Amino acid sequence: MIFQLLQNPLILVFFLVSIILAVAFHEFCHAWAATRLGDFTAKYQGRLTLNPLKHLDPIGFILMLVAGFGWGKPVPVNSNALKKRSDEALISVAGPVSNVIFAFIVAIPLLILQNFSSLPETNAILVFLSTLLEVNILLGVFNLIPLPPLDGFNIVRSLTPNAWQPSIEKFGKSGPAILIGIIALDYITGIDLLYPLIMGGERIVSGVISQSIMFFIDLIKH
- 27, 88, 134, 202: the catalytic one is 27
CA dihedral in degrees (197, 202, 204, 209; nearest 10)?
A: 170
Distance from the Cα of residue 179 to its chain's centroid: 16
Residue 202 designated active-site: no
Residues 6+ apart with CB under 8 A from 25: 50, 98, 99, 102
Q: How far apart are CA 121 and CA 111, in angstroms?
A: 12
Residues 6+ apart with CB under 8 A from 187: 66, 67
CB 149 within 8 A of CB 173: no
Distance from the Cα of residue 146 to its chain's centroid: 14
Which residues are designated catalytic? 27
